[in-house]
Amino acid sequence: MSANSPLVVSDLAKAYDGRPAVDGISFELRRGECFGLLGPNGAGKTTTLRCCLGIAAPDRGEVNLVGIRLPDGGREARARVGVVPQFDNLDPDFTVAENLLVYGRYFGMSSSAIKARIPDLLEFAGLGGKEKAALRSLSGGMKRRLTLARALVNDPDLLLLDEPTTGLDPQARHLIWERLKRLIADGKTILLTTHFMDEAERLCGRLAIMDAGKIISQGSPRELIAQHIEPHVVEIFGDAEDTQPIEWARGEAEKLARRCEMAGETLFCYVDEPTELLERLAVRPGLRVLHRPANLEDVFLKLTGRDLRD
Ligand code: ATP
C-alpha cells in the first residue's frame, strides 16, 4: 500500500440479507487522479462508497481513508473528504447559504470561516449571488451544483462523487464536467461513480468496472478499450418492417468482423480494419451505416452484457 494514497480499499466485502453487494474488491487511489467506479445497477458501487466513508460497516476487508483506518476515526476522516451522494440530501427548509453553513458546522468549521468561503463556492458552482435563494426555487441542476459546492466547503483533498450528473440536462452536465476538471487540475483526488461512459472517458485517468460486487476489469479508458475491444465499430441500422437488408449485412459482416452483435434492430460489428466491410455495405442501397472508433461503452457492454439488471 502506498502510504500517500488518499484511499486504499483491500478485500472489501459486504452482504445484505446474505446476498453479497460487494464481494472482495481492492483498489487504491493515486493522489491527484480521478478514479471511476462503473457498473450496472446493483453492481455494488454505492455500497463501496458507503463503506469507504465508514457509513456502512463492511463484513470483511479494510478501508484506509485519508491515512486513517476505518471504522476508527471515521468522523475525523469524513471531515477531510467531500461527498456528493447519489440523491441530494440538502435541507429544503434552508436557504442556499444556510445549507452550506449547517454542513460546514457539522464538520467543526467556524461560521466565519464558512461565510468567508460561501461567495467563492457559489461562484464555482455557477450559483453566484444565490446565497439567500430558497431551496425550492432551485432547479435540479442548481441543487446538484449546490451539493458539489457543499462537498467543497471544508476544502477537502479527496472527493467521493456518487453519480454527480444523473438527471441533469446536457448544459448542467457540461458545467459540472468543466468544474470537476478544474478540481482535478488543482490537485484534488476524485472517486467518481457514473453510468455515463463518456463522462468516465472524459474525466477518469483510471477506472474499475464492477459487476455483481466484483471488479471485473481495471485500467485507463485507453487500456480497457485496447484490451477488450477491436479498434473499429461499424453500426448498421435495420428496419423492423423490412429485415432483408440487415440480414444480408449480417451475413457479410460475419465473414469479416471479429465479433457481431445484434441489439434490437442494430447490428454492431467489431473489426480490426473497417475498409472492406464498409465497401461491401456501400454497394447495397437502403442501409444506414455508422463507422466510429471503439469506446468505453463497447467495453462496458461486452464485459457486463446487454441484459437489464432490475
Ligand atoms: P446503482 O447503479 O443502481 O446505484 P450500485 O452499483 O450503486 O447500483 P448498490 O446500491 O451498492 O449498487 O447495491 C448493490 C446491491 O446491494 C443491490 O442488490 C442492492 O439491492 C443491495 N443493497 C444495497 N443497499 C442495501 C440495503 N441498505 N439493504 C439491502 N440491500 C441493499
Residue 237's domain comprises 230-293
Pocket test for ligand 1, best of 45, 191, 192, 304 (most atoms within 8 A of CB): 45
What's the grid cell of residue 65? 481513508
Distances (CA, A) of 252 to 238, 260, 281: 14, 11, 8
Round to whole Å and give the CA distance between 50 and 57: 8
Q: What is the mean pLDDT of residues 264-288?
A: 92
Residue 55 lies in a domain: yes
pTM here is 0.92
Q: Quick one: DSSP state of residue 240?
A: S
pLDDT at site 3: 61
**Residue to substitute in 16, 23, 51, 215 for testing ligand 1 pocket (most ligand atoms within 8 angstroms of CB):** 16
Instruction: With respect to residue 309, please indicate whether it lies within any of the assigned structural domains.
Output: no
**Residues 18 and 67 grouped into a single domain:** yes
Report how far ligand 1's centroid is from the alpha carbon of 231 (Å): 34
Number of residues assigned to the chain: 310
The confidence score (pLDDT) of residue 243 equals 85
- Distance, CA 42 to ligand 1 centroid (Å)? 5
Q: Do the Cβ atoms of 233 and 273 come closer than 8 Å?
A: no
User: How many of the other CB atoms lie within 10 Å of CB of 76?
Assistant: 14
**Residue 2 within a domain:** no
Count of domains forming the chain = 2
SS3 for 154-170, per residue? CCCCEEEEECCCCCCCH
Residue 310, judged by CB atoms within 10 A of its CB (0-12, 13-18, 19+), counts as exposed
CA of 10 from ligand 1 middle (Å) equals: 20
Quote the pLDDT of residue 238: 82
Residue 204 has pLDDT above 70, yes or no: yes
Local structure of 11: helix, strand or coil: strand
Answer whether residue 115 shows pLDDT above 90.
yes
pLDDT the model gives residue 306: 76
Establish if 307 belongs to a structural domain: no
Both 64 and 210 in a single domain?
yes
Identify whether 142 is part of a domain. Answer: yes
Q: For residue 153, give the CATH number of its domain.
A: 3.40.50.300
Distance CA 212, CA 39 (A): 9
The owner of cell 438527471 is 167
Asked whether residue 57 falls in the same domain as residue 173, the answer is yes
Is a pLDDT exceeding 90 seen at residue 161?
A: yes
At 190-201, the pLDDT tens digits run 999 999 999 999
For residue 303, what is its C-alpha cell? 464485459
Tell me the pLDDT tens digit for each residue of 10-34. 999 999 999 999 999 999 999 999 9
Ligand 1 atom closest to the Cα of residue 163 is 4
Q: Is residue 294 over pLDDT 60? A: yes
Domain with residue 273: its CATH number is 3.30.70.330
What residues contact residue 294 under an 8 Å CB cut-off, 6+ apart? 225, 229, 230, 231, 232, 233, 270
Cα dist. 268→67, 74, 197, 245, 292 in Å? 46, 47, 17, 15, 11
Same domain assignment for residues 243 and 168 = no
pLDDT at 308: 75
In a domain, 303, yes or no: no
**Nearest atom in ligand 1 to 47's CA:** 11
- Which of residues 264 and 47 earns the better pLDDT score? 47
Check residue 284 and give its pLDDT.
Answer: 86
pLDDT band (50, 70, 90) for residue 242: confident
Percentage of residues in the chain having pLDDT higher than 90: 85
Q: How far is the CA of 43 from the centre of ligand 1 (A)?
A: 7
69 and 210 assigned to the same domain: yes
In ligand 1, the atom with minimum distance to the C-alpha of 40 is 2
Q: What residue ranges line ligand 1, CB within 6 angstroms? A: 16, 21, 39, 41-47
C-alpha cell at 206: 483510471
pLDDT at 211 over 80: yes
The reply to whether 95 and 54 lie within a common domain is yes
- For the chain, helix, strand, coil in percent to 5 are 35, 25, 35
What is the reported pLDDT for 1?
55
Angstrom distance (rounded) from CA 86 to CA 8? 21
Indicate whether 301 belongs to any domain: no
- Same domain, yes or no, for 62 and 135? yes
